[in-house]
Amino acid sequence: MSVSLVAQDTLMISDLGLLPNTRENAAPFVNKAMAMMEGKQNRVLYFPQGRYDFWPHHCIEKEYFESNTYDINPKRLGIVMDGLTNVTIEGNGSEFIFHDRMQPFTVDGSSYVSLKNFSVDWDIPLTAQGEVISSDAEGFTIRINTNESPYIIENNKLFFVGEGWKSALWEVMEFQPDTRFVEPYTGDAQALGHGWQNYQTKELSLGLVKLYRKGGFKRHPKVGNWLVLRHSTRDHAGMFLVNSKDIAIEGVRIYHTAGLGVLSQYSENISLKDVKVVPNKAKGRFLSGHDDGFHFMGCKGQITVDNCEWAGLMDDPINVHGTCVRITEILSPQKIKCRFMHDMSAGMVWSQTGEQVGFIENKSMRTVGFGTIEAYEVINKEEFTVQLSAPIPEEIKAGAALENLTWTPDVEIRNSVFGSCRARGLLLSTPGKIVVENNRFQSSGSAILIAGDANYWYESGAVRDVTIQNNVFEYPCMSSMYQFCEAIISILPEIPEPDSEYPFHRNITITNNTFHPFDYPILYAKSVNGLQFTNNTLIRSIKIEPFHKRQAGITLDACKNVTIKGNEIEGDVLGKKVEVINMNPKEVKMPSKEFFKF
């Protein structure tokens, strides 16, 4: 990152007529400022410190296909950098307040962009919350701040109504008021238990709402806990970086979004320092972003995350992955037809001429060959064809998957706090060099998930070089169950017919970390060739009772070349057993003095 700091030309937003704290719609002023940046170098757009409001009125609207985001278009854009080079947004500690459904920042086809020193929030967020006031046999009562989450009740159901939208409650997440952790044993098991959706609501007084059901819910939230009341859909990122490179984001607080927090897509070299996607405590909020924190799909170069924090998110803090597509038809030896398999991928430009791809046999998940794109042609939002420079491998039939290997970044994540959010902490699926160090994890589900599948989510790809070191995995890691959460670190590619001769993932080193497990499973690894679990310290937490179905500390499934050694326990831990399945136990090197035992 080398954003030049010399000879910068500063444009004050106030010189265009927009003063802070006026509540005036900033959108047209910012659009004018951006037009003035075009063709200029080293420009800084400077916001005098204060509050700035952004409304859809006069905002730029553009069609974007954003990964892991619903195709609701056009997107409504707040601050847009389109085709700019060497520009900085200096917020100087300002608050950017958004209204309705909007995408606060869009960086498209730009390079050397720096976004600094501001917060992003909504007065009326797209997720609501309420404090549990009382509970009885048939249900419970919550208090909702009607200024920030106005609601109506229609046909005995709770709907939130905001700036241009009405949306029904569709999920409830429960947080503890003091720790701000997700209440243990909830997660995908639901705070209200399964089948809660046939609830009824009545308003006891303004802001005091009872949710109830004949015979009560299977589980009632605890009085004093806070519920995040999920409604609306994920339709805009907080920041969308696309087809851009050398982006630095620093000193930013993202208190809310209408979807993913920072979504980087087909972009190169991204640095996030001191970026926090957390609840706005000054507003008494437990909710933060609507979905994931930082989401990197199809990026390359270096991704650096340093001194960041996430909490109160309704999905994973970080997810780094590519997007596999399904080969639906072999049109000729060098031409295939492909399909996006997830509705939140459709419409993206999946590759460019000259890019490298891998052919994945979808039952074993083996990459059986490589190729180079010669031509890419869109058929419709879901389908495209690719012409390859050489014939495709013979093993590849319709039903196999294609992975883009050009857009695969190296990743460094350090000195950050993965606070309690719905779901997991860190999802990694990229073959680049990955270093995860000096972080604190307080995840509700698994702290780290290394997945990879070509059959359901179609998020590629296999890892080849992962180092997880000097991190602390605190309670409440793995205190609620979510998809793919088999242990505090869960390595779980989805392979229909695993072949232990050809593991999917490679070279994962977990060393010098401290774990505070209250439960058995610490590490689950499936289909890894070259796994080190060394020199870690395990200290049992007694905060809550164990609940996970697994009773082994380490479970190895179809792995090769595993080393477990030098780990220490302080006191005792529950998960001392190493369970080995679908593989030869001799693939595990573990000294006999190790407290872990088969």
- Interacting residue with its own copies among 53, 292, 315, 486 (CB under 8 A): 53
Is residue 165 involved in binding its own copies (CB under 8 A)?
yes
Q: How far is the CB of 152 from its own copies (least distance, A)?
A: 9
Q: Which residue, 23 or 589, is less far from its own copies as judged by CB?
A: 23
Q: Which residue, 71 or 123, is less far from its own copies as judged by CB?
A: 123
Is residue 368 involved in binding its own copies (CB under 8 A)?
no
- Interacting residue with its own copies among 46, 52, 55, 350 (CB under 8 A): 55
User: What is the enclosing helix (H) or strand (E) of 491?
Assistant: strand 489-491
Is residue 166 involved in binding its own copies (CB under 8 A)?
yes
Q: How far is the CB of 208 from its own copies (least distance, A)?
A: 14
User: What is the enclosing helix (H) or strand (E) of 29?
Assistant: helix 27-37
Q: Which residue, 75 or 273, is less far from its own copies as judged by CB?
A: 75
- Interacting residue with its own copies among 31, 52, 56, 305 (CB under 8 A): 56
Is residue 161 involved in binding its own copies (CB under 8 A)?
yes
SS3 122: strand
Cβ atoms of 300 and 461 within 8 Å: the answer is no
* Binders of its own copies in range 290-319 (CB under 8 A): none
Q: Which residue, 163 or 250, is less far from its own copies as judged by CB?
A: 163
SS3 106: strand
CA–CA distances in Å: residue 83 to residues 87, 116, 262, 265, 385: 10, 19, 19, 16, 28
Q: How far is the CB of 276 from its own copies (least distance, A)?
A: 25
Is residue 23 involved in binding its own copies (CB under 8 A)?
yes
Cis ω before 432 (30° cut-off from 0):
no
Alpha carbon dihedral 185, 186, 192, 198, in 10-degree steps, equals -130
Q: Which two tokens stand for residue 111?
A: 């390079």
Is residue 50 involved in binding its own copies (CB under 8 A)?
no
Q: How far is the CB of 166 from its own copies (least distance, A)?
A: 4
Q: Per 3-state DSSP, what percentage of the chain is helix, strand, and coil (rounded to 5)?
A: 5, 45, 50
Is residue 75 involved in binding its own copies (CB under 8 A)?
no
Q: Which residue, 22 or 584, is less far from its own copies as judged by CB?
A: 22
Is residue 205 involved in binding its own copies (CB under 8 A)?
no
Q: How far is the CB of 154 from its own copies (least distance, A)?
A: 8
Place of tokens 């819910």: 217
Segment contacting its own copies by CB under 8 A, of 23-31, 286-294, 336-344, 551-559 = 23-31
Q: Which two tokens stand for residue 322?
A: 């590519």
**Going by C-beta distance under 8 Å and a sequence separation of 6 or more, which residues neighbour residue 502?**
364, 366
- Give the CA radius of gyration of the chain: 24
Q: Which residue, 164 or 585, is less far from its own copies as judged by CB?
A: 164
Q: Whole-angstrom Cα distance, residue 462 to residue 454?
A: 11
Q: What is the 3-state secondary structure (H, E, C) of 501-512?
A: CCCCEEEEEEEC
Is residue 154 involved in binding its own copies (CB under 8 A)?
yes
Q: Which residue, 33 or 59, is less far from its own copies as judged by CB?
A: 59
Q: Which residue, 143 or 414, is less far from its own copies as judged by CB?
A: 143
Q: Which residue, 56 or 251, is less far from its own copies as judged by CB?
A: 56
Is residue 99 involved in binding its own copies (CB under 8 A)?
yes
Is residue 203 involved in binding its own copies (CB under 8 A)?
no
> How many residues line the site for its own copies (CB under 8 A)?
23
Cis ω before 74 (30° cut-off from 0):
yes
Q: Which two tokens stand for residue 483?
A: 């998809």
Segment contacting its own copies by CB under 8 A, of 56-64, 195-203, 239-247, 575-583 = 56-64
Q: How far is the CB of 437 from its own copies (least distance, A)?
A: 44
Cβ atoms of 498 and 462 within 8 Å: the answer is no
Largest alpha-carbon pair distance within the chain? 73
- Interacting residue with its own copies among 40, 57, 218, 597 (CB under 8 A): 57
Buried b (16+ CB within 10 A) or exposed e, 520-551: bbbbbbbbbbbbbbbebebbbbeeeeeebebe
DSSP 8-state secondary structure symbol assigned to residue 15: G
Count of residues for the chain? 598
Segment contacting its own copies by CB under 8 A, of 19-27, 240-248, 292-300, 415-423 = 19-27
Q: How far is the CB of 165 from its own copies (least distance, A)?
A: 6
- Interacting residue with its own copies among 39, 74, 164, 333 (CB under 8 A): 164
Q: How far is the CB of 55 from its own copies (least distance, A)?
A: 6
Question: From residue 110 to residue 149, what is the string marking binding to its own copies with x (rule CB under 8 A)?
Answer: ------------------------------------xx--
Instruction: Give the amino acid at 198.
Output: N
SS3 242: strand
Provide DSSP, 320-336: EEEE-EEEEEEEETTEE
Segment contacting its own copies by CB under 8 A, of 15-23, 559-567, 568-576, 587-595 = 15-23
Q: Whole-angstrom Cα distance, residue 117 to residue 114?
A: 10
Q: How far is the CB of 13 from its own copies (least distance, A)?
A: 17
Residues that bind its own copies (CB under 8 A): 21-25, 53, 55-57, 59, 99-100, 146-147, 150, 154, 161-166, 206
